[in-house]
Structure 1
């Protein structure tokens, strides 16, 4: 079964990181990504640009409306994701717990809907 591991973090805290801390975090993500690629769990994944680059789209009464930024104001913002293949939820949770961002943010684990 496929699971989406959604990585949430506080962008304000991320922007306060030193270049050295950012480099260390990037290296940790690289190591993690390589480990799930080698184990066969990895399907896809990417980091996202900051929420300041986001545009929210709504269609109301046939008109397309856009708003700068994310849909909702929150303390943590979606920063990236991994799409993984896991035999069950427990395996997906174990993979999520190893994501470096789980230490200071949160990881949402959500099964991917299968259409038949």
Structure 2
């Protein structure tokens, strides 16, 4: 089964991180990615641009509203994603737990 692991967190934390801290975080992400590759589970992933660069589309019948900014006004934002192949939710949780991220939302791909 395929699972999407949505990386969540406070963007302010990353914005305030110094160069050395960012280097360390990227190193942990590299180790995480290698672990997924060794297990044949890595289907891809990317870091996302800051939520302030988002464009949101909302439809109401024929009316379409295009606005700048993220869909939800929350403290935590989605900052990236990893797509994995996992035997079941338990293995997807194992992968998500190994991610160098404070928060992860797991969503099964249904098709």
Choose the corresponding residue for 2:110, options 110, 113, 116: 113
Structure 2 residue matching 1:91: 3-state secondary structure: helix
Could you tell me how far 1:64 is from its partner in structure 2?
A: 2.5
Structure 1 residue matching 2:70: 3-state secondary structure: coil
RMSD across aligned positions (CA): 1.0
Question: Which 4+ residue blocks in structure 1 deviate beyond 2 angstroms?
Answer: none
Could you tell me how far 1:63 is from its partner in structure 2?
A: 3.0
Could you tell me how far 1:58 is from its partner in structure 2?
A: 1.4
TM-score (ref. length: structure 1):
0.90
Could you tell me how far 1:40 is from its partner in structure 2?
A: 0.2
**1:24 alignment counterpart:** 24
**Structure 1 regions of 5+ residues with no counterpart?**
none
Could you tell me how far 1:59 is from its partner in structure 2?
A: 2.3
Structure 2 residue matching 1:71: 3-state secondary structure: coil
Structure 2 residue matching 1:113: 3-state secondary structure: coil
**2:56 alignment counterpart:** 56
* Counterparts of residues 4-43 of structure 1 (less than 5 Å): 4-43=4-43
